[in-house]
Amino acid sequence: MLKIKNLHATVGGKAILKGLDLEIGAGEVHAIMGPNGAGKSTLGNVIAGREGYEVTAGEVIYQGKNLLELEPEERACEGIFLAFQYPVEIPGVNNTYFLRAALNAQRKYRGEPELDSMQFLKLVREKLEVLHIGDDLLHRAVNEGFSGGEKKRNEIFQMAVLEPSLAILDETDSGLDIDALRLVAEGVNRLRAGDRSIMVVTHYQRLLDYIVPDVVHVLADGKIAASGGPDLALKLEEQGYTWLEQGGIKALKQEARA
99 touches 135 (CB < 8 A): no
Q: Write down the least CB distance from residue 159 to another protein, Å.
A: 10
| 105 vs 251 by CB, closer to another protein | 105
What is the x/- site pattern for another protein, positions 21-50, by CB under 8 A? ---------------------------xxx
Given candidates 5, 15, 68, 98, which one binds another protein under the rule CB under 8 A? 98
Half-sphere exposure of 152 toward its Cβ, with a 13 Å CA cutoff?
A: 24
In whole angstroms, give the CA distance from residue 131 to residue 221.
36
Helix/strand/coil for 170: strand
Given candidates 30, 40, 75, 151, which one binds another protein under the rule CB under 8 A? 75
Q: Write down the least CB distance from residue 88 to another protein, Å.
A: 4
Given candidates 9, 38, 82, 137, which one binds another protein under the rule CB under 8 A? 82
Query: What one-letter code names the amino acid at 243?
Result: W
Given candidates 15, 102, 115, 224, which one binds another protein under the rule CB under 8 A? 102
115 touches 103 (CB < 8 A): yes
Given candidates 76, 167, 219, 225, which one binds another protein under the rule CB under 8 A? 76
The piece of 10-18, 100-108, 114-122, 225-233 that touches another protein (CB under 8 A) is 100-108
| 20 vs 77 by CB, closer to another protein | 77
Residues in 185-224 that interact with another protein by CB under 8 A: none
Return the biggest CA–CA distance within the chain.
58
C-alpha torsion angle, residues 52, 56, 59, 60 (rounded to 10): -10
| 161 vs 226 by CB, closer to another protein | 161
Q: Write down the least CB distance from residue 141 to another protein, Å.
A: 8
Q: Write down the least CB distance from residue 126 to another protein, Å.
A: 19
For 171-248, strand residue ranges (E) read: 197-202, 215-220, 223-228
1 touches 25 (CB < 8 A): yes
Query: What single DSSP character describes residue 213?
Result: -
Residue 51 interacts with another protein (CB under 8 A): yes or no:
yes
Helix/strand/coil for 87: coil
In angstroms, what CA-CA distances link 68 with 32, 49, 55? 20, 7, 8
Nearest residue to 179 via CA among 206, 201, 146 = 206
| 91 vs 111 by CB, closer to another protein | 91
Given candidates 54, 59, 73, 129, which one binds another protein under the rule CB under 8 A? 73
In angstroms, what CA-CA distances link 256 with 108, 168, 206? 45, 25, 22
| 143 vs 205 by CB, closer to another protein | 143
Q: Write down the least CB distance from residue 168 to another protein, Å.
A: 10
Site residues, another protein (CB under 8 A):
48-51, 71-73, 75-77, 81-82, 84, 87-93, 98-99, 101-103, 105-106, 109, 141, 158, 162
